[in-house]
């Protein structure tokens, strides 16, 4: 059985005080780690402090991005080595906002995924189609190729530990989520791609999240689908009570 993983992607939101107060409200209330991985992805500025705050709790901290080099002349970038050093466990890679606004490509995504494993970080690799691609019926072709490129050069063992987040771009921040059935079909297709590229065991082990307008009211529908193991949530993860409701409805309901 794959353990569910629910992650709060805060994007560029919250001040330090807002971030720490969220963690204080949530950390004693989340479900046990044995049941679900509960992950918070704050802005990079707060990572070190939040890692300290969640020690001895069932919460874990993820970065939202990083560079693929460990050090050097990359002004403003985040080193994977430094993330490992402060105790970060996960890193989101290739979010569509980074692909669209910060020129990330399938090649840089692949380099970052390889670097994540070099520094013992679990990558949450984002894939998803644009509205135009969706309307043209190109979803599977696009998502399949994003997955293949992201995982090039990985070992089967690494793929088993990776997380994929399927986030249709037209569903992000729009309030217009995919249907659970359609999302499940794409996630099932992603498993077939992983099975072809690596093995059936890798396809069965890898955890796949759905993201895009997930809310406490609809998370259960997604989590009930056989190929969906979790959610990557933006807007509805910003309030402590809403995040707790997502965990409760997604994993206990
Ligand atoms: P929303 O939940 O706000 O649609 O954002 C989804 C997302 O991009 C998570 O990474």
What percent of the chain is predicted at pLDDT more than 70? Answer: 100
Please state the domain count of the chain: 1
Does ligand 1 come within 6 angstroms of the Cβ of 167?
yes
Does ligand 1 come within 6 angstroms of the Cβ of 51?
no
Does ligand 1 come within 6 angstroms of the Cβ of 143?
no
**Average pLDDT, integer, range 30-53:** 97
pLDDT for 252 equals 78
pLDDT at 115 over 80: yes
Query: Which of the 8 DSSP states describes residue 181?
Result: H
pLDDT for 90 equals 98
pLDDT for 37 equals 97
pLDDT for 201 equals 98
**Average pLDDT, integer, range 130-155:** 97
Nearest CA among 124, 89, 83, 140 for reference residue 231: 124
pTM reported for the whole predicted model = 0.97
Place 176 in a pLDDT band, splitting at 50, 70 and 90: confident
**Average pLDDT, integer, range 225-244:** 98
The two three-digit tokens of residue 75, written as one number? 């002004």
| Residue 38 · residue 58 · CB < 8 Å | yes
Segments forming the whole domain that contains residue 140: 5-250
pLDDT at 93 over 80: yes
**Average pLDDT, integer, range 211-233:** 97
Residues forming the annotated binding site for substrate?
Answer: 9-11, 173, 213, 234-235
Place 140 in a pLDDT band, splitting at 50, 70 and 90: very high
pLDDT for 88 equals 98
pLDDT for 253 equals 61
Which among 92, 95, 235, 238 is the best mutation to test ligand 1's pocket, defined by most ligand atoms within 8 Å of the CB?
235
CA atoms within 13 A on the CB side of 153: 13
Place 111 in a pLDDT band, splitting at 50, 70 and 90: very high
Query: Which of the 8 DSSP states describes residue 90?
Result: E
Residue 167 bears catalytic tag: yes
Which among 7, 9, 176 is the best mutation to test ligand 1's pocket, defined by most ligand atoms within 8 Å of the CB?
9
Q: What is the CATH classification number for the domain harbouring 241?
A: 3.20.20.70
Rounded distance, CA 186 to CA 237, Å? 24
Does ligand 1 come within 6 angstroms of the Cβ of 9?
yes
Nearest CA to ligand 1 atom 5: 234
**Average pLDDT, integer, range 29-58:** 97
Query: Which of the 8 DSSP states describes residue 46?
Result: G
pLDDT for 227 equals 98
Does ligand 1 come within 6 angstroms of the Cβ of 213?
yes
Residue 248 bears catalytic tag: no
The two three-digit tokens of residue 126, written as one number? 């984002």
**Average pLDDT, integer, range 145-167:** 98
CA–centroid distance, 97 to ligand 1, in Å, is 10
């Amino acid at each position: 059985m794959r353990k569910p993983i629910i992650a709060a992607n805060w994007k560029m939101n919250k001040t330090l005080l807002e971030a720490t107060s969220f963690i204080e409200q949530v950390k004693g209330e989340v479900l046990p780690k044995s049941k679900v991985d509960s992950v918070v992805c704050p802005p990079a500025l707060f990572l070190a402090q939040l890692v300290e705050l969640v020690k001895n709790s069932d919460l874990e901290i993820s970065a939202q991005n990083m560079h693929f080099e460990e050090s050097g002349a990359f002004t403003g970038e985040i080193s994977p080595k430094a993330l490992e050093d402060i105790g970060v466990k996960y890193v989101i890679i290739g979010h569509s906002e980074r692909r669209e606004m910060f020129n990330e490509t399938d090649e840089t995504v692949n380099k970052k995924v390889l670097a994540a494993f070099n520094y013992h970080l679990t990558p949450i690799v984002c894939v998803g189609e644009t509205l135009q691609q969706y309307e043209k019926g190109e979803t599977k072709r696009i998502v399949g190729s994003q997955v293949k490129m992201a995982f090039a050069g990985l070992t089967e063992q690494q793929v088993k530990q990776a997380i994929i987040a399927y986030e249709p771009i037209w569903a992000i921040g729009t309030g217009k989520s995919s249907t659970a059935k359609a999302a499940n079909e794409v996630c099932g297709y992603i498993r077939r791609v992983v099975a072809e590229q690596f093995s059936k065991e890798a396809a069965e082990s890898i955890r796949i999240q759905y993201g895009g307008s997930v809310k406490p009211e609809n998370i259960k529908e997604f989590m009930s689908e056989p190929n969906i193991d979790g959610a990557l949530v933006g807007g509805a993860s910003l309030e402590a009570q809403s995040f707790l409701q997502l965990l409760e409805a997604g994993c206990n309901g």
